[in-house]
Amino acid sequence: MMTIKEIRKRLDGGDISCRELTEAFLDAAKRDNPALNAYIRITEEEALRAADAADARRAKGEALSPLDGVPFILKDNINTKGITTTCASKMLANYVPIFDAFIWEKLRDSGAIMLGKGNMDEFAMGSTGETSYFGATSNPHNLDHVAGGSSSGPAAAVAGGLAVFGIGSDTGGSVRIPASFCGLVGLKPTYGAISRRGVIAYGSSLDQIGPIAVCAEDAALVFDAMCEKDPGDMTSVGSEPVTPKLTGSVAGKKIGMAREFFEVMSPPVREAIERAVKLFEKMGATIVPLEFPMLRYTLSTYYIIACAEAASNLGRFDGLRYGYRAESAADLDDFICRTRTEGFGKEVRRRILLGTYVLSAGYYDAYYNKAQLLRRAIKNEFSEMFKKCDLLLGPTVATTALQKGSGLTPVEMYQTDICTSSVNLAGLPAMSVPCGFDEKGLPIGLQLVGPHFGESEILSAALAFERETAGEFLKSSGMGVKL
């Protein structure tokens, strides 16, 4: 795994051309992707064309952005004009968008090289990367284990050395969970900091785009390339660049630790988090014990709201305008029923049904309205905690990467989100940082949560932790490109 800074140094120094670099990553992707299943589609022609343009800019001596010529992978729920965007679903297996997502425009304008579209849980619904219509993604550190979800492909590609960074979406932990399972940094920004225009929606009030990268500095550079306010997205407010604000220090900072997060952790995760806490104290931070009693209601609240929004957002996929169409039907109602039954996978159908149920006339007040009231209470509890500290610390996931085909029940799979989903309900920034390994050598992630638009706070803390540990928790999978 190479950082953006290392890649740029080689490109700017003339050690390698952007085309040679891109060809090396494409060759590695074609070689190793059958084992990882990180890419749904490799966009070779587009990548080489962009690489040639990057080489031409260097030859002319033009001013270049930090991402110019850097290869990356884009999650396949982000629209790319003229390039298939599937959401890892049979429903959209042949869907070719007629417009680009705002963030893809920003990344392309920055000179970044898209190598392909990343695998994911179908319509971003899952925590393991196993609900994809195109098959499960494997964890580069152990192919018998999952890469996490729903942004499984971007995480596996970066950890497997098939891309320098990845772009995912995070509705309840879908950037942070795969980052934790694959030993990477995953940043979920403040809601509204990055435009959602052109991202195929799961939960509109929860979704947020974020980078998956090798280190905190890389995540900051990618965030800066995407955080411009978008007038085409009514929820977009944008953000100031964070890279100039990174201090790499936690001296004098108050770091809160909610007791409830520590009650759900497995022993290896607990040990790794406790070691990390001691390191933060050594670096000059003060640890503040806190309580978060609303955590017990988080999963129920999150899944009621997320499924309700999913039922609404996915109502457009009826086979009449675009997407999969059933071949035969008795009438219009039967056609729509067959199309949606055949086009959606089991987990997506389950969440649509749950969402339709909680929005129905007899249950709207009992479930959906109550969940919205609890969401407000969760937001208020976070606000109270941030009156006592600068950022929060806890586990990203209570366990390390699960074994593939472990046969979790839906409720057991939903419980994977226990440490991450509350952040989406509150619209706060959070990130996962590698902090250890279990007895099998599988990575463990530490979660840092900041106040609204506190990306620089958590990125600075992550950078300080990385410097203190000197890359101890950055582990190569032995796969991918060799430069």
Residues with catalytic annotation? Answer: 75, 150, 174
Q: What angle do CA 196, 319, 83 make, to 5 degrees?
A: 50
Residues 6+ apart with CB under 8 A from 376: none
Residues 6+ apart with CB under 8 A from 358: 304, 307, 308, 364, 367, 368, 371
Residues 6+ apart with CB under 8 A from 384: none
Residues 6+ apart with CB under 8 A from 247: 460, 463, 464
Long-range contacts formed by 60-63: CB under 8 A, 24+ apart: none
